[in-house]
Amino acid sequence: MGLSTDAADATDILLIDFRVSCRMHRAWPIEVALGWQEEPGQWQFASRVIRPGADWRETDWSQDHAEDDHALTLDDLQHGFSARRVLVWLHAMSRNKWTLSSDPAGTFFQIGALARAAGDSLGIGHPDSLYDALDERTDEDTASEALRAFFDAEFEAKPCSARMSVELMARHWDLALGAVKVEAA
């Protein structure tokens, strides 16, 4: 999805994260968020709540997971965007971008769920790993491991929306590339 890993300009990346209906493998997407830079150092964020597709089963909904962990109710989803509109938005936003996710396989699975509900994939491909991208751009092989631990600790906040996750990924990206320094505790 997008540019090669040689893309060095931060304005060429797109961060993506999904929130899902439950913790089971049949989960369907309930929210997607994106983060990007139009100017270096100036992050922009946007998210879309996703209306359930006709073939998405209510039995694959967990009130505890979606409401407690992500603060989204089934009623909220009924007012969300259709899978087709979300997919068109993702396609437009990912054009000429190197798309990164903290969970590339899970993200690709959710893009597939959107594509099946919309009846068209629009050619959106598999995102790359945020952590692999960080390792490629830093001198230390362990940079992404240390930052993954930081990210995982920050991510434990409840409720956590997809937008919050993408904002953390952006901070993570900036930390790894030295744009922001973390004070030792």
**Average pLDDT by stretches of 10, the chain with 185 residues:** 45 88 80 90 92 82 71 86 94 91 88 89 81 70 58 61 84 69 39
Give the domains, in start order, of the chain with CATH numbers.
Answer: 10-176 (3.30.420.10)
Distance CA 95, CA 2 (A): 6
Task: Please answer whether residues 44 and 65 qualify as being in contact, where contact means their C-beta atoms are separated by less than 8 angstroms.
Answer: no
Distance CA 38, CA 15 (A): 13
pLDDT of residue 185: 36
pLDDT of residue 92: 93
pLDDT of residue 184: 39
The token pair that represents 145 in the structure block: 């491991």
Angle formed by the axes of helices 130-137 and 162-176, to 10°? Answer: 10
Distance CA 27, CA 58 (A): 10
The token pair that represents 8 in the structure block: 């060095």
pLDDT of residue 148: 63
Distance CA 148, CA 135 (A): 11
Distance CA 77, CA 117 (A): 15
Instruction: Decide: residue 8, CB within 10 A, 0-12 exposed, 13-18 middle, 19+ buried.
Output: exposed
pLDDT of residue 86: 95
Report the Cα 34 to chain-centroid distance in Å.
6
Give the contacts of 16 (CB within 8 A, at least 6 positions apart): 32, 33, 34, 35, 90, 94, 99, 100, 101, 107, 127, 166
